[in-house]
Structure formats: C-alpha cells, structure tokens
Amino acid sequence: MGKNGALNGEGTLNVAVIGAGPAGYYTAEALTGTERPVNVDIIDRLPTPFGLIRAGVAPDHQSIKNVSRRYEATNQRDNVRFVGNLSLGRDITLAELRDLYDAVVLATGAGKDRPLGIEGEDLRGVIGSGAFVGWYNAHPDYKDLEPDLRVASVAVIGNGNVAIDVARVLAKTASEMATSDLADHAAGRIHGAPIRDIYILGRRGPLEASFTPKELGELNQLENCVALVDGTQLPDASIDSSLSGAAKKNMAAMRAMATNSPDAKPVRLHLQFYRRPMAILGDKCVCGIRLEETKVEDGKCVGTGVTEVLPAGLVVPCIGYRTSPIPDVPYSERYGHFENESGRIADGLYCVGWAKRGPTGTIGTNKPDGVEVAQEILGEVHPSGKSGRAGLDQIVQERDLHIVTFQTWKKIEAREEAGATAGAPRKKLVDVSEMVRIAES
Ligand code: NAP
C-alpha cells in the first residue's frame, strides 16, 4: 500500500510516466501526494533513473545532482515504480501503453540538438551540445562519439548555461575535476588536449546573454584558464546601477574579465559578443567558422555585413534542443515539442517538462510543471479498471524484456560508487548490457 493508500484495485488510477528525469519524477510525486489511490510507473529506456540529473547536469556540479535524493524518496512510495531499460517504440508502443494505463505522461525531455541551419554543419568536428554533454557525462548513446580534441582552438556557440558548462568542462584541469563524475573516456581526451583558446560566441550582446551569475562567475575562478572579455563590447558602466540583480552580477563578472590579462594562464576563454555564425569551414573536418558582426536593435540580432573567420578545430553549438517526435503524437515543428494545452495532448495523453514547454528553465522549473499536469490528470481522468502495472508485467514477461527496477538499479549504483577514485562520487558505467547484467546479478 502506498502513502496515499493506493491498491491496484478498481478505484485505482493507473498512470505511466515516460521518462525518469526531473519532470517525470515531479509529476509522479504530485500524482501520488494526495489521498487519491494512484499507481505510477516511471518508464525509461535507460537502465538508470534521473535523466538530465545524471546525463545533463555538468559532472563538476555535484551539488545540483543532490536533488535526486528527492526523487529517490518518491521512488520509496509503494505506489511508484521505476521501470528501466524499457524503450517506447522498441519494446512497447504508445498505443499499448494507452491501453494499459488510464493516463500516459510523456516526460521525454528534449534530446535532439537544434540545428544551426548553416553550411558546414555536418563536417566532422561539429558536435552539438546534446551529444557533447552526453559524451562527457557517460550517456550510453554517446559513448562511442570519440571527438577529436587534438585542436588548439574551440568555438562554443551560444550564450546560455550549456555553453558555459561545455567551455568550463573543457577548460578545467584533471585536479579540478577530481571530485566530479566526468566519464573516464572523456577525462582521457580532455586532459590530454592541446586546447589553448576557447571562444564562447554570442549572436547578441552581453545584456542579452542568458547566463546565470553563479555559472558565469565560475569562469573567473579556473586554475589554468583565464576568462577574457573585450571591454569595448560592454555597455557604459553608467547603466550598471539600473540593472536587475542577475544582470548586475553578470555585468560585474564580465567587467572583471575585461581587466584580466591574456597571459595570466595557459588557456584563454574568450567571451565574444555580437557574432553570428554564417558558415562552418573545412574540407572533411572543421577548420574554422565564418562569423558576421552583428548589432542589437529592439532586442533583435541584426547583421552588419562585416564578416571574419575564426580558426577552430572543434565547434560545439549550444543553441537549444528539440524533443524527439513520437509517431501519432501531435508535434510542433516550430517549437520542437509536443503540441499541448497546459500539458494535455489528447484524452489520457499528457506531456510535461521540456517535452511540454521546450528546453528552458532550471531543474526546479519542472516542479510546478509536474504539479500542473498531475492536477489536470487527477481532475479529469477517472479509474477505468485498466490493468496498469499488472498488464505491463505481463507484456514484459511475454516479450522476455530485461527491465531494471529501482532495487536492481541500486546494484548498478553500488558498482559505480565502489569503482570511484578517491574524492569522486562514482565511476559511471556506459554500457547498457553491462548495466543490465549487474542489475540481474
Ligand atoms: P539558452 O539559455 O536558451 O541559450 C541558448 C543560446 O543559443 C542563446 O544565447 C541563443 O541566442 C543562442 N542561439 C540560439 N540559436 C542560435 C543560432 N542559430 N545562432 C547562434 N546562437 C543561437 O539554452 P541552453 O544554454 O541550451 O540551456 C537550456 C536551459 O537549461 C536553460 O534554461 C539553462 O539555464 C538551463 N541550464 C541550466 C544550468 C545551470 O543552472 N547550471 C546548466 C545548463 C543548462 P539568443 O538569445 O539570441 O536566441
């Protein structure tokens, strides 16, 4: 029996949440936090829970990852189950899940990189942030990415926190990453790389950047790398007093960077504004990027027609993500997420988190999202005697699927923790078959 007294009886609402990331867990928490009898199965194609907490949040930001303890507590409820290594489309169809459960919630995030839409984007050495971050975070999909980091100069496109994460992880030394869970395969390449210049390129100005102050400020604290800003790109200091809290802190950090000496440390991290990518250059591999100088008019980026070439052997566009479409689920090509009204897609079908609103906000933004969708479900979906988890278990058995439960995931977690080097929280496993073997051992 669960916290809210859910039994798998006739009056129980059966809900499947697809995606075990923050949005999925907050939805499950809200669904099972009332007196209503509700069973929730949180289904994920990976054998590991927590989605972006594990594979998106930067490996050196362990304190942010602590939020997973809250999701663990949700998973301790008897009426919440994690069903890992079960892939929608491969192992079971959405139609089958909708037959089994009273409601299905798509919490599938936004796993595809948004394209830049410019020439040269397919050259070797151009790697979107989804893939690059997944690679250094040991996401199984990207374990074989093998980016060539034997380059002197890297261009990171975009002025958001993901661009900062990518630049910082490339810039930090092995000792700075000693307490992180950076993937082993990435540590070897990153710490042996001859990178000397990292450029974070913004198509608009410093006031339009979407960095958060804590993340921007960290760039001024790196052991081996000095952050640089061209002071002529910053607005006149007289505007600082009129800026809001976050913008004011960002501006202070950037003004400090403008006084740094390029020779202060061996690696230079350049924040360059008013530059938009026009083409990525190279034959088979990228060797540079053509940028157009821009200005900002009414908040919009406007080209000036003046161009320049920035040499770069690696280009990492960090310009946002798109949700992967699912057959028969209405999808907005324009916004890159499921068509929905406050999370509702169709009768008994919902979405939440980035799959609902696009790739914006912090981890915590998903909480009100999850509450909203849970309230809608509790308000309009009624138990209809569907078989829920019993029906899913039957399919799992019939198809001989090797699912991972929360209890068996704990074996994977224990193996990762036992393998960690001193100071590190875990040594992440990257191979799904190996993880499933450990779970079943
Ligand atoms: P973001 O904050 O939306 O930044 C995307 C950047 O890409 C913007 O600077 C945008 O410029 C630029 N861009 C978009 N299309 C472009 C193009 N065609 N050419 C050049 N630049 C282009 O997104 P994000 O960095 O991917 O982060 C996603 C969300 O996760 C954000 O809410 C972020 O705060 C959050 N996050 C948080 C943390 C943290 O708290 N530590 C870490 C990582 C991510 P314009 O502004 O001009 O459109």
The CATH number of residue 300's host domain is 3.50.50.60
Mean pLDDT confidence for 96-111: 98
Give the Cα-Cα-Cα angle 269, 192, 290 (nearest 5 degrees).
Answer: 40
Please tell me whether residues 104 and 161 are part of one structural domain.
no
Residue 377: strand, helix, or coil? helix
Nearest C-alpha to atom 4 of ligand 1 is from which residue? 160
Q: Cα(319) to centroid of ligand 1, in Å? A: 5
CB distance 207 to ligand 1 below 6 Å: no
pLDDT tens for residues 152-191? 999 999 999 999 999 999 999 999 999 999 999 999 999 9
User: Does residue 424 have a pLDDT over 90?
Assistant: yes
Please tell me whether residues 172 and 232 are part of one structural domain.
yes
User: Does residue 1 have a pLDDT over 50?
Assistant: no
Nearest C-alpha to atom 16 of ligand 1 is from which residue? 319
Closest CA to 350 of 321, 364, 371: 371
Q: Cα(87) to centroid of ligand 1, in Å? A: 29
pLDDT of residue 9: 63
SS (H, E, C) 62-79: HHHHCCHHHHHHHHHCCC
CA pair distance 134, 114, nearest whole angstrom: 15
Please tell me whether residues 407 and 394 are part of one structural domain.
yes
CB distance 276 to ligand 1 below 6 Å: yes
CA pair distance 149, 65, nearest whole angstrom: 27
CB distance 317 to ligand 1 below 6 Å: no
Given 263, 294, 319, which residue is the final one in a domain? Answer: 319
Mean pLDDT confidence for 206-227: 97
Supply the pTM of this predicted model.
0.96
Please tell me whether residues 145 and 198 are part of one structural domain.
yes
CB distance 21 to ligand 1 below 6 Å: no
227 neighbors 260 (Cβ within 8 angstroms): yes
Please provide the average confidence, as pLDDT, over all residues in the chain: 96
Given 276, 299, 319, which residue is the final one in a domain? Answer: 319
Identify the bridge partners of residue 295 per DSSP, sorted by sequence position.
Answer: 302
Q: Cα(250) to centroid of ligand 1, in Å? A: 15
CB distance 158 to ligand 1 below 6 Å: yes
Place of tokens 């050495």: 125
CATH number of the domain where residue 89 is located? 3.40.50.720
Q: How far apart are the first and last CA of the chain?
A: 28
Q: Cα(361) to centroid of ligand 1, in Å? A: 10
CA pair distance 302, 297, nearest whole angstrom: 7
* Residue to probe by mutation, ligand 1, list 300, 319, 360, most atoms within 8 Å of CB: 319
Q: Is residue 6 domain-resident? A: no
User: Does residue 88 have a pLDDT over 90?
Assistant: yes
Q: Cα(176) to centroid of ligand 1, in Å? A: 25
Could you tell me the residue range of the domain that residue 206 belongs to? 115-319
Ligand 1 atom nearest the C-alpha of 163 is 25
Q: In the numeric block, which tokens belong to residue 194?
A: 């001859």
Nearest C-alpha to atom 36 of ligand 1 is from which residue? 161
Q: What is the band of 6 on the pLDDT scale with cuts at 50, 70, 90?
A: low
pLDDT tens for residues 25-40? 999 999 999 999 999 9
Q: What is the band of 243 on the pLDDT scale with cuts at 50, 70, 90?
A: very high
Radius of gyration of the chain (CA): 23
Q: In the numeric block, which tokens belong to residue 58?
A: 């930067």
Please tell me whether residues 135 and 81 are part of one structural domain.
no
User: Does residue 200 have a pLDDT over 50?
Assistant: yes
Given 319, 353, 379, which residue is the final one in a domain? Answer: 319
- Number of domains into which the chain is organized: 2
Please tell me whether residues 311 and 348 are part of one structural domain.
no
Q: Is residue 146 domain-resident? A: yes
Q: Cα(410) to centroid of ligand 1, in Å? A: 34
pLDDT of residue 3: 44
Other Cβ atoms closer than 10 A to 228: 21
Q: Cα(116) to centroid of ligand 1, in Å? A: 13
Please tell me whether residues 378 and 364 are part of one structural domain.
yes
User: Does residue 46 have a pLDDT over 90?
Assistant: yes
Other Cβ atoms closer than 10 A to 192: 10
Q: Cα(114) to centroid of ligand 1, in Å? A: 11
337 neighbors 357 (Cβ within 8 angstroms): yes
CB distance 291 to ligand 1 below 6 Å: no
Q: Is residue 4 domain-resident? A: no
Q: Is residue 2 domain-resident? A: no
Please tell me whether residues 162 and 296 are part of one structural domain.
yes
Ligand 1 atom nearest the C-alpha of 319 is 7
CA pair distance 197, 206, nearest whole angstrom: 20
> Sign of torsion, CA 244 247 252 258?
negative
Q: Cα(159) to centroid of ligand 1, in Å? A: 6
Q: What is the band of 5 on the pLDDT scale with cuts at 50, 70, 90?
A: very low
pLDDT tens for residues 251-271? 999 999 999 999 999 999 999
pLDDT tens for residues 317-365? 999 999 999 999 999 999 999 999 999 999 999 999 999 999 999 999 9
Q: Is residue 8 domain-resident? A: no
Please tell me whether residues 241 and 378 are part of one structural domain.
no
User: Does residue 7 have a pLDDT over 80?
Assistant: no
CB distance 359 to ligand 1 below 6 Å: yes
Please tell me whether residues 134 and 224 are part of one structural domain.
yes
Q: Which residues contact 412 (CB under 8 A, 6 or more apart)?
A: 47, 48, 404, 429, 435, 438, 439
Please tell me whether residues 23 and 60 are part of one structural domain.
yes
Closest CA to 107 of 165, 11, 35, 29: 29
What b-and-e string marks burial along 124-151, b requiring 16 or more CB atoms within 10 Å of the CB? ebbbbbbbbbbbbbbbbbbbebebebeb
Please tell me whether residues 103 and 119 are part of one structural domain.
no
